């Protein structure tokens, strides 16, 4: 048996950064910090503050760290290993994050979209292990998506596949899904969920509305991709009892093929850690 190694996975979200030390099966240690928004120097200082104690832990356990995987919300140029556009963390746009982090840590660095990381983790260790045609949607600070097909994450011809947040949802005015989501949840879905659980009817209605919007969006995606299963993750998926029935009802109405209406909708099994685990799994 080869000697065991650790990997580090970091999920860099619009609100929080979660870093884990991972042994290939389970999380050994984890740290969490708010995502810096002021400048890119601060961003790298905080990133290092997450990585250092994990390196320390590995040293104590006398196990080598093989590399670091990063999952980032935004579009990535996979050829040049650059973040092209991260709408929720604009300070890192066009940053050569891999080169920079290699300098700091002296470790191999891997980079992927956060929704891809989520889906990779759920496929390998989570809710959808037995499927091979899987659409993953992540509802958190923004809305991300990814598609697992033919034993891998589908990247598209230009690395731009799986961007449901940009879906135009009103052809009259060009409104996109993620804009509508921000408006509807006033950039604070957690607070509105809290209100809804306390019985606030307006908050309940907001989630019913969100559920319907997600249903339309997923029906549009199913009518193109026709996957076996959809897996839902991100912070908002944890309050799915507030919206998922509306999502399913709307999907049933707008999926064209009666066969495709049989699609399964599953919730994330790995929860908050899915993105970081999927990032750790990037390390080869």
Q: List residues binding a copy of itself (CB under 8 A).
A: 75, 77, 84-85, 133, 145, 147, 150, 155-172, 174, 176, 180, 212-213, 216-217, 219-228, 253-260, 262-263
Q: In the complex with a copy of itself, which residue's Cβ is closer, 197 or 216?
A: 216
Q: Shortest distance, CB of residue 259 to a copy of itself, whole angstroms? A: 4
Give the separation between CA 55 and CA 61, rounded to whole angstroms: 10
Q: In the complex with a copy of itself, which residue's Cβ is closer, 5 or 155?
A: 155
Q: Shortest distance, CB of residue 273 to a copy of itself, whole angstroms? A: 27
Q: In the complex with a copy of itself, which residue's Cβ is closer, 91 or 161?
A: 161
Q: Shortest distance, CB of residue 184 to a copy of itself, whole angstroms? A: 11
Q: In sequence order, what DSSP letters do the residues of 228-275 get, joined into one string?
A: SEEEEESGGGGGGGGTHHHHHHHHHHH-S-TTGGG-EEEE-SSGGGHH
Collapsed DSSP state (helix, strand, coil) of residue 158: coil
**CA-to-CA separations, 29 to 60, 87, 102, 114, in angstroms, rounded:** 12, 29, 22, 20
Q: Shortest distance, CB of residue 71 to a copy of itself, whole angstroms? A: 17
DSSP letter at 201?
H
Q: In the complex with a copy of itself, which residue's Cβ is closer, 227 or 234?
A: 227
Q: In the complex with a copy of itself, which residue's Cβ is closer, 1 or 157?
A: 157
Give the separation between CA 167 and CA 113, rounded to whole angstroms: 17
28: tokens are 């050994």
Q: Shortest distance, CB of residue 46 to a copy of itself, whole angstroms? A: 27
């Amino acid at each position: 048996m080869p000697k065991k190694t650790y990997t580090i996975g970091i999920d860099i979200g619009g609100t929080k950064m979660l870093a884990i030390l991972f042994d290939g099966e389970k999380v050994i240690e984890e740290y969490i910090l708010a995502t810096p928004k002021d400048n890119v120097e601060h961003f790298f200082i905080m990133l290092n503050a997450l990585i250092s104690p994990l390196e320390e832990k590995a040293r104590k356990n006398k196990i080598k760290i093989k590399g670091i995987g990063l999952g980032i919300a935004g579009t990535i140029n996979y050829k040049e290993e650059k973040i092209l556009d991260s709408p929720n963390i604009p300070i890192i746009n066009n940053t050569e994050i891999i080169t920079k982090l290699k300098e700091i840590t002296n470790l191999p660095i891997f980079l992927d979209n956060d929704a891809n990381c989520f889906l990779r983790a759920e496929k390998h260790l989570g809710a959808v292990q037995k499927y091979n045609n899987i659409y993953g949607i992540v509802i958190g600070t923004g809305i991300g998506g990814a598609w697992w097909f033919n034993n891998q994450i589908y990247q598209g011809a230009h690395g731009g596949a799986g961007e449901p947040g940009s879906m135009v949802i009103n052809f009259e005015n060009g409104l996109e899904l993620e804009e509508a989501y921000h408006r509807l949840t006033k950039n604070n879905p957690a607070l509105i969920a809290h209100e809804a659980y306390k019985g606030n009817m307006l908050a309940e209605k907001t989630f019913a509305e969100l559920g319907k919007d997600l249903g339309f969006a997923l029906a549009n995606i199913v009518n193109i991709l026709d996957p076996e299963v959809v897996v839902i993750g991100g912070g908002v998926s944890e309050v799915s009892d507030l919206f998922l029935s509306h999502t399913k009802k709307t999907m049933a109405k707008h999926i064209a093929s009666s066969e495709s209406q049989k699609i399964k909708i599953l919730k994330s099994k790995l929860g908050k850690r899915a993105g970081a685990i999927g990032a750790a799994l990037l390390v080869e």
